[in-house]
Amino acid sequence: MQVLALGTAQWGNSYGVTNAEGRLSDLRISELAQTALNLGIRSVDTAAGYGNAQERLRPWAKEFLVTTKISGASQETVATQVSSSLTELGLSNVHACLVHDWAALSVEEQERSAKALTELQRDGVVNRVGVSAYDRIDIDRALEAFSELGCVQIPLSILDQRLIVEESIIKELTSRGAEVQARSIFLQGLLAAESKVALAQHPAVRNFHQWCSNNGYQPLEAAVSFIKGLDWIETVVVGVTSAAELEEISLAWNTPIQISNVDTLASQDLSLIDPRTWVKL
């Protein structure tokens, strides 16, 4: 069964191209955590690279299944990073730990990170180990490096359908029992509502919003319903800046609409679908 996970990138950084709130206040974080629990959301996504997000999550961490991330290029060992994350979170173990910068690592760094995380998994410190990936190449390398690949987080949206056509890699992940998590389902907010930022004028984004208007869909419900139709996705990470946004997503999640012909919306333009290429706006 698919589940929502509360993203925490905005808890420690001013994350998101459409984020006008900046780094969230203590009050806003408290409201979000409590709202998530009230809505039945029991998974959360965080990272050592999200500023002090893990520390700010600590009061509620025991209520959630926590996925966190570490850096494979850090001067600190993987074990030290995981230990620091557990201390900040106030936990003795986490649901999953992923290599955050997997795509940027050398093969040697990838193998070293995979081995270190696997050892921690066997010690019971983490339940699942894996990577935060961007494309098929990242996943292929993870399948080679990890003897027990348990979790892969991928970017996926109604505009970014690159990995959907990679049926063989999806079958390989599911056959191994790996949990597939989806992130960026709203492209940092571009697909959730009309926006005035420059990227919102990209032809693919404008086409999506026009498609929604022509078919009587709300953009947010269309973006959510697209993901809900992919049964191989187990966890869907959503980043929000208010309790109202989370409630709106939860409503769309629990009442998905029927949509069709979504393949016509797919974009291959990496300057849009890969946030690593975005200039700071």
pLDDT tens digits for range 148-175: 999 999 999 999 999 998 889 999 999 9
pLDDT tens digits for range 27-85: 999 999 999 999 999 999 999 999 999 999 999 999 999 999 999 999 999 999 999 99
pLDDT tens digits for range 89-145: 999 999 999 999 999 999 999 999 999 999 999 999 999 999 999 999 999 999 999
* One-letter amino acid for residue 111 of the chain: E
**How far are the Cα atoms of 43, 92, 240 from residue 61, in angstroms, in the given order?**
9, 11, 18
Q: How many domains does the chain have?
A: 1
Q: Residue 20: pLDDT band by 50, 70, 90 thresholds?
A: low
pLDDT tens digits for range 230-247: 999 999 999 999 999 999
For all residues of the chain together, what is the average pLDDT? 94
- What's the pLDDT at 174? 94
Q: Residue 17: pLDDT band by 50, 70, 90 thresholds?
A: very low
**How far are the Cα atoms of 85, 237, 252 from residue 63, in angstroms, in the given order?**
16, 17, 23
For residue 227, give the CATH number of its domain. 3.20.20.100
Give the pTM.
0.94
SS3 187: coil
**How far are the Cα atoms of 85, 89, 97, 223 from residue 159, in angstroms, in the given order?**
33, 34, 27, 9
Instruction: For residue 110, give its domain range.
Output: 3-277
